[in-house]
Chain A
Amino acid sequence: MTDVSAPGNPPFRLSMLIYDRRYRSLTFQVIVFILVMAGLWWLVDNTIKNLALLGKNFNFGFLFQRAGYDIPQTPIPYTSDDTHFRAATVGLLNTLIVSVLGCIAATFLGIIVGVARLSKNWLFARLMTVFVEIFRNMPLLLWILIIYAIFTEILPTPAAYRGEDAAWSMIFFDHVALTNRYTALPTMAMTNDPGSLDLGARITFNWATISFAAVLILGVIVRRMIRNWAQSVQDRTGDRPRTWWMSLAVMTVPSLILIWYFGLHLVAPELTGFNFTGGLNVSNALVALWLALTLYTAAFIAEIVRAGILAVSKGQTEAAYALGLRPNRTMNLVILPQALRVIVPPLISQYLNLTKNSSLAIAVGYMDLRGTLGGTTLNQTGRELEAIVLMMLVYLALSLIISGAMNIFNARVKLKER
């Protein structure tokens, strides 16, 4: 095939770049690209020049110097002799802890409140409206500070638990103590400790923990197999065999055997010296931050859930009722699965928000990534630019991972078009 130009096609002129629709969009794209690059170059050049003027260079060597400060909550072993890098890792783990806890709790609470707002019970529905409006319309930082202040001012110091007739006593059969510093929880101990798996870098996992996790995962898989089997029986015969006791047994019996085998028992915290020791002290900073993040985000999730449910046509409910389904089964089997398609995409944004909002932790001295890398490390080393850039990249990566994972989930629940 030969290339034949249309007869009378005018030769290319410079003005065609603007007046010819074939070239115009390209022209503008090139111009914008050049402007953006020039702006970028100017900014980078400006930064480099000014850093030089301040006598600072750009390098990440400080990450491998001794940190020298302590962190109250350390998910992995950490002392002041460790590097800033490890301190930042501890901070990142603390960020993840509060974010994951917050996302889980906010989702549960949000779904409950969102569904309850649609309840026919007038009082209940209005109460939920009040909840949503209160938490949604006040700044998160205020909630964090208020909840933290309530803990600090209302709960007693550990010393209040001392003595024969102490002012306060421990709850849950002397296993839990609420104080204005932390909640002292019992820890687990084993009479038959199987030792730990060493992953290097002083990160260890106890074999008992690993076996419990394995047993739980296996349990979930077996439970799904049981359900599939029940489904196939139902498809064949029309009768669904009772499987709840099988599921229950699969989920609990192996764990119970493990508990017996390892001799797992609770060790209550004890008041020694200034503080409770021997247990797990969950700091009020974590609890206050977690509660505030949960309540705040739950209010938004509740609205998303409500919108999702309202988006399912009323005919679906009526059809389910006509088939004789009870209201709660209608909700679980008909409405929620369809509502999820509307709910999940905005839910992803809420998870991202919660994770990023967790950087307000510094307000209550919870040492997350912002508190370690962006706080003490930044201060002690004076590497503002490096620390901030690193922190931005970590939060960016974190957000992309969360949204990636949630997008996979979304692809599973969204309307399948065949």
Chain B
Amino acid sequence: MTKTVFLGTVAAASLFAGMSLAQEGSTLAQVKERDELNCGVNTGLVGFAAPDANGNWTGFDVALCRAVAAAVLGDGNKVRFVPTTGQTRFTALASGEVDVLARNSTWTFSRDTDLALDFVGVNYYDGQGFMVRKDLGVTSAKELDGATVCIQTGTTTELNLADYFRANGMNYTPVNIDSNAEGEQQYMAGACDAYTTDVSGLAATRAAFADPENHVILPEIISKEPLGPAVRHGDNNWGDIVRWTLNALIAAEEYGVTSRNIEELVRSSTNPEVQRLLGASDDLGAMLGLDNEWARRVIMTSGNYGEIFAANIGEQTPIGLARGLNAQWTQGGLLYAPPFR
């Protein structure tokens, strides 16, 4: 009996040891040595991160992963995409399974502090909304009293939903689901009246339907969801690289640097900020621990922020999201990259 208890304890303890792992050395060195970036992405959200028909990952978040890989390793294809669910994503990052997490994750206080993550910026300003079938005749989220709502478990949306219905004195029945695909299936089968997640996610999900015109996204936005890439707390240099990769993409759009005109601008631009960004003058790259052409490769990979947005989730795509809050600050949006100097 005593022996059994012993063995059991040993087995349990070894499990804990498996969960934790020693993190020696900087993430940058690890990535360079591996010659591959491990990037945590969504398990499949069209437009943000999903494998296409040939198995290549594409999407808005995927483009950021490729940009980081281009900055660090010189090749946007040296990325291993690790699909993570709402439940596994932060553990995957904390345990070192992924180097950067670009998975529609909301930047919140407790995640930034208590979970020991660092959100390095915002790549998409989002808010939580509801999608319902048109034939329900619902035009406002305030009419959802008594509804059954599909919700991805382990997300901030779960808490917002509870708060919203409570604040408005309404009842609802949650149907907890694990992934967006399962939510889609439940919603399509009518097992829930409404599906709630970030509006961008709703638009992406709706775009994948056979009959997108029969579904509406209700006008109420019930929360602030600044989505951004996250890295582990403590490795500031790595955090800087991801942060400034994102800023380079945003700044490039602001200064009109695109993947098409970049070669020319490197030679001919007279704007000192653009020169510094593209490594034509000064050496900002060295300050990051990279070479001077890092930002050039970042922009060459899939274009600047605006190009990435337009190619993956913009109004010309089936997802059809307007820039809205995600326009440059000069266009009335919230995108504002700090100066490159």
Contacts and interface: CB of A to CB of B under 8 A. Distances in A.
Contacts of A382: 90, 110-111, 114-115
A80 B178 contact: no
A71 B166 CA distance: 13
Contacts of A376: 153-154, 158, 176
A69 B173 contact: no
B16 A181 contact: no
Interface string B163-178: 1011000001111111
Given A380-B154, A382-B90, A362 B146 contact: no
B10 A40 contact: yes
A253 B156 CA distance: 54
Interface string A130-142: 0000000000000
A44 B17 CA distance: 8
29 contacts: A36-B10, A39-B10, A40-B9, A43-B10, A43-B13, A47-B13, A47-B20, A50-B21, A50-B22, A68-B162, A69-B158, A69-B162, A70-B165, A80-B166, A153-B189, A181-B175, A275-B148, A277-B146, A365-B176, A365-B177, A365-B178, A367-B176, A376-B153, A379-B86, A379-B153, A380-B159, A382-B90, A382-B114, A384-B19
A381 interface: yes
Nearest to B6: A36
Given A51-B20, A56-B116, A152 B153 contact: no
Contact of A180 (B23, B162, B163, B190): B190
A54 to B, nearest CB: 6
Nearest to A43: B13
B94 interface: yes
A72 B153 contact: no
A393 to B, nearest CB: 10
Interface in B82-110: 86-87, 90-91, 94, 110
Interface of A: 36, 39-40, 43-44, 46-47, 49-51, 53-56, 68-72, 79-81, 152-153, 156-157, 159, 180-181, 272-275, 277, 281, 284, 362-363, 365, 367, 371, 375-376, 378-382, 384-385, 388, 392
Contacts, number: 131
Contacts of B163: 68, 80
Nearest to A41: B13
Contacts of B21: 50
B184 to A, nearest CB: 12
A46 B177 contact: no
Interface in B153-208: 153-155, 158-159, 161-163, 165-166, 172-178, 185-186, 189-193
Contacts of A56: 116
State the 10 A-B residue pairs at the shortest beta-carbon distance, nearest first. A50-B20, A379-B154, A157-B190, A365-B176, A80-B162, A43-B13, A382-B115, A273-B146, A274-B147, A55-B116
Interface of B: 6, 9-10, 12-14, 16-17, 19-23, 86-87, 90-91, 94, 110-111, 114-116, 136, 144-148, 153-155, 158-159, 161-163, 165-166, 172-178, 185-186, 189-193, 233-234
A381 B114 contact: yes
Contacts of B174: 70-72
Contact of A375 (B87, B159, B161): B87
Given A56-B116, A180-B191, A382-B114, A44 B13 contact: yes
A274 B14 contact: no
A317 B234 CA distance: 75
Given A47-B16, A69-B158, A277-B146, A55 B189 contact: no
Given A46-B22, A51-B20, 7 more contacts: A53-B22, A54-B116, A55-B234, A181-B173, A274-B193, A371-B176, A382-B115
B14 A43 contact: yes
A275 B159 contact: no
A275 B234 CA distance: 49
A365 B153 contact: yes
A175 to B, nearest CB: 20
A46 B17 contact: yes
B124 to A, nearest CB: 21
Contacts of B12: 392
Nearest to A375: B153
